[in-house]
Structure 1
Amino acid sequence: MATKKLTIADHWLQPVSHCPSPNQNERPGAPVDLLVIHNISLPPGQFGGGHVQELFTNCLDPKGDPFFAEIEGLEVSAHVLIERDGTITQFVPFDRRAWHAGVSCYQGREACNDFSIGIELEGTDDTPYTDAQYQRLAELIKLLLASYPDLSKEKIVGHSDIAPGRKTDPGASFDWSRFHSLIDV
């Protein structure tokens, strides 16, 4: 199935689903110059079901799964989620701060949420990502690089790179070489 070309209007991707998250706020004025790739699955290791959207909008039922009770009250978000089939949902406009990185540091700069865009891939550290996810991620990254002049290919990192020892995503299953070959064309 062909997908329509992505565009950005007023910091929102088009044509994708928008599911605004309350877990966001204004940026402190720092230029957006970092892209952070994450993975997420809820419950861990399970895909689909809309639970990531529920988490990012503070609507996750803590009784829906034992793990959901463990993360009850967690207020997190990302700018974008790319599901296994390549479907994209945007939660936070790119000019605002999503709460995706937590305690983090990049090249001596702490609080990476202040100056980064967070992209979640539906997946786990050890489950290969899908062709559709790589294709949509590359399309999105190329659009972001063209739209936000402070971003660069050299400043695309994994969550593990900015929170080492605390985070491991996008994990060993993420093929960085494949990803770079797709954005270098």
Structure 2
Amino acid sequence: MIDRPSPNFGPRRDGLRPSIVVLHYTAMSSAEAAIQRLCDPEAQVSAHYVVCRSGAITRLVAEDQRAWHAGEGEWRGQQDINSRSVGIELDNTGDHPFPEPQMAALEGLLQRIMERWDIAPENVIGHSDMAPGRKSDPGPRFDWTRLARQGLAAQAGYEEGPGAPDCTLFRRIARDAGFTADVDHETLLAAVRLRFRPHATGPLAPEDFTPLGHAALWT
């Protein structure tokens, strides 16, 4: 663990403590470039950690403090995600796979954070989950299935979706799964697909329901 303290933080509001982990990609040329920006007081952005492609971890903000990484958004009906979360930036431009050393380091870091703050796997999310349409990180190349297998993210469902997909039903089930941001149907569908079916296209399909729960929800 390397410490590079950022000045961009403050106290968590209203006595809140971390109950969510938000994963990002840096979308910059290198981890060092990202760290410099996250430590620049004029940028007014930060995160708690940056995980380099080599697996090196840099800590910028203490976990009990409020880093400025999430911005506007909502998860499970809760806003001010910065006060409720730990933010992890992954050194990635968004268009290439996340290398093994980086994923292994992230897994170890996630496990420790989740144990310290008693965070449920269902509350390990991407920036795109809480800010649909506004953010797309950690992007389509991120391996959520790998995290889920280790209990570090929500398990996706596997049962066949409804034969006649209905947008209103999809919205209700997606909200129950945590996607509560106030966005239109197309934006919500895109966010759910980015998380669970990143290469899917076209109109709402039975397969879009499958990862969000079980058949009893739509039968």
Superposition map of 1:1-185 within 5 A: 16-28=1-13, 29-42=15-28, 46-48=29-31, 50-58=32-40, 73-149=42-118, 151-183=119-151
Tell me the distance in 2 between the aligned counterparts of 1:110 and 1:41. Answer: 24
The farther-off stretch of 50-59 and 166-175 is 50-59
CA contact 1:124–1:169 (8 Å) conserved in 2 = no
CA RMSD, Structure 1 to Structure 2 (Å): 1.4
Residues paired across the two proteins, number: 151
- Normalising by the residue count of structure 1, what TM-score does the alignment of the two structures yield? 0.77
Between Structure 1 and Structure 2, the one with more strand by share is 1
Q: Structure 2, unaligned stretches of length 5 or more?
A: 153-219
1:145 and 1:167 map into 2 onto residues whose CA distance is 24
> CA–CA distance in 1 between the matches of 2:64 and 2:117?
10
Q: Which has the larger radius of gyration?
A: 2
Q: Unpaired segments of 5 or more residues in structure 1?
A: 1-15, 60-72
Distance (Å, rounded) in 2 between the aligned partners of 1:127 and 1:182: 23
TM-score (norm 2): 0.66
Q: 2-side partners of 1:19 and 1:183: how far apart?
A: 29
Larger RCO (CA within 8 A; separation ≥ 6):
1
Residue 37 of structure 1: how far off its partner (Å): 0.4
Deviation, 1:173, is 0.4
CA contact (8 A) 1:94 1:117 kept: yes
Amino acid at match of 2:36: E
- Cα deviation 1:75-111 (Å, max 9, x = unaligned): 1000000000000000000000000001121111111
SS of the residue 1:81 aligns to: strand
